[in-house]
């Protein structure tokens, strides 16, 4: 049971890679566009999560000034 998240991650990665392989056979340009857009979306989401966590941690420090 402890390996279930790891196995689920590998399963989902296999599905994603299979979809990308089939898309690559269909169109190289479309695959490139999808990967670039997906990378951009992931970077924006990561930056947003970072900003939100920094704001939340900053608000906690203001209440505990000495």
Please enumerate in sequence order all residues whose Cβ is within 8 A of that of 34, keeping only pairs 6 or more positions apart, or say none. Answer: 23
In-domain check, residue 8: yes
The parent domain of residue 40 ranges over 4-59
More confident residue, 61 or 37: 37
pLDDT, mean over the chain: 89
In-domain check, residue 21: yes
Q: What is the mean pLDDT of residues 13-34?
A: 94
In-domain check, residue 39: yes
In-domain check, residue 32: yes
Q: Tell whether the model's pLDDT for residue 61 goes beyond 70.
A: no
Q: Tell whether the model's pLDDT for residue 60 goes beyond 90.
A: no
In-domain check, residue 40: yes
Q: Give me 26's structure tokens.
A: 């269909």
In-domain check, residue 66: no
pLDDT score, position 2: 87
User: What total number of domains does the chain contain?
Assistant: 1
In-domain check, residue 13: yes
pLDDT score, position 65: 54
In-domain check, residue 64: no
Rounded (10°) CA dihedral 47, 50, 56, 59: -90
pLDDT above 90: percentage of residues in the chain:
79
* C-alpha to C-alpha distance for 25 and 36, rounded to whole angstroms: 17
* C-alpha to C-alpha distance for 46 and 66, rounded to whole angstroms: 33
């Amino acid at each position: 049971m402890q390996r279930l998240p790891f196995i689920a991650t590998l399963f989902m990665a296999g599905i994603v890679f299979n979809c990308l392989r089939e898309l690559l056979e269909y169109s190289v340009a479309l695959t490139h566009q999808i990967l670039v857009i997906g990378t951009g979306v992931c970077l924006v989401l990561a930056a947003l999560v970072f900003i939100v966590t920094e704001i939340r941690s900053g608000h906690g420090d203001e209440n505990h000034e000495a």
